[in-house]
């Protein structure tokens, strides 16, 4: 496992050590001790989630508030996505900034999205299977979001907006400035 820092503190790229031969491949996608040794973070993942989506599906930008906030370790099992994490920690020098990274079945790379971040992705391949570990349980009453096309964040989703497939919920989310006063990070 190799850890790469991004422009935002605690938002990390995790490059898995990959072993392949004529039979196929093997890699350890998560080891709590190794993760702690490499990052100094002792995360206790309690929930795994998986989704399958077609090209253009944009999920996000989602988060959970306060004590229900979640750190996520995300990866792609099949296909390719653009994965985005937005810093919502009010006292952070990178508040409102984002990290965007392509994750694919071939990259063997994961993104650690810390607590206090909004998270979303768009599918760039024909389909994608997206997998993530969470360090806290989902709580519907504490969910929140930021609109994906907020001009202040200027996220380049790498697809034309006409290609996006969004849930109704994701089309009516507030902008970062509209949500700022309600954030509990």
Q: So where are the chain's domains?
A: 2-15+44-182
Name the average pLDDT for the chain: 95
Q: Is the pLDDT of residue 18 over 90?
A: no
Q: In this predicted structure, what is the pLDDT of residue 111?
A: 98
* CB burial of residue 159 (10 Å; 0-12, 13-18, 19+): middle
CA–CA separation, 23 and 62 (whole Å): 39
Percent above pLDDT 70 for the chain: 100
Q: Which of 114, 117, 171, 125 is nearest to 147 (CA)?
A: 171
pLDDT-based confidence at 118, cuts 50/70/90?
A: very high
Q: Is the pLDDT of residue 185 over 90?
A: no
CA–CA separation, 123 and 82 (whole Å): 7
Output the furthest CA–CA distance in the chain (Å, rounded). 55
Q: Which of 75, 150, 68 is nearest to 109 (CA)?
A: 75
- Would you say 152 and 177 are in contact if contact means Cβ atoms under 8 Å apart? yes
The residue to which tokens 């965007």 are assigned: 100
Q: Is 62 a catalytic residue?
A: yes
Q: Where are the beta strands (DSSP E) in the chain?
A: 2-5, 12-15, 18-21, 24-27, 47-54, 58-64, 72-78, 80-87, 98-104, 109-113, 117-123, 127-134, 143-145
According to CATH, the topology of domain 2-15+44-182 is: Jelly Rolls (2.60.120)
Q: Is 138 a catalytic residue?
A: no
Q: Is the pLDDT of residue 175 over 90?
A: yes
Read off the pLDDT of residues 70-85 as tens digits, 9 standing for 90 and up: 999 999 999 999 999 9
Q: In this predicted structure, what is the pLDDT of residue 158?
A: 97
Q: Name the active-site residue from 62, 68, 98, 108.
A: 62
Q: Name the active-site residue from 108, 132, 138, 148.
A: 132
Q: Is the pLDDT of residue 128 over 90?
A: yes
Read off the pLDDT of residues 86-113 as tens digits, 9 standing for 90 and up: 999 999 999 999 999 999 999 999 999 9
């Amino acid at each position: 496992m190799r850890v790469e820092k991004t422009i935002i503190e605690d938002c990390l790229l995790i490059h898995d050590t990959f072993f392949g031969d004529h039979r196929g491949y093997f890699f350890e996608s998560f080891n709590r001790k190794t993760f702690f040794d490499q990052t100094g973070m002792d995360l206790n993942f309690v929930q795994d989630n998986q989704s399958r989506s077609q090209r253009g599906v944009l999920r996000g930008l989602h988060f959970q508030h306060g004590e229900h906030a979640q750190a996520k370790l995300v990866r792609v099992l099949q296909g390719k996505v653009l994965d985005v994490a937005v810093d919502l920690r009010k006292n952070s020098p990178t508040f409102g900034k984002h990290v965007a990274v392509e994750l694919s079945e071939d990259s063997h790379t994961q993104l650690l999205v810390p607590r206090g971040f909004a998270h979303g992705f768009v599918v760039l391949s024909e389909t994608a299977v997206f997998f993530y570990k969470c360090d806290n349980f989902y709580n519907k009453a504490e969910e929140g979001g930021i609109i994906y096309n907020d001009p202040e964040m200027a996220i380049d989703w790498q697809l034309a907006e006409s290609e996006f497939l969004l849930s109704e919920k994701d089309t009516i989310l507030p902008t970062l400035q509209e949500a700022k006063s309600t954030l509990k990070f």
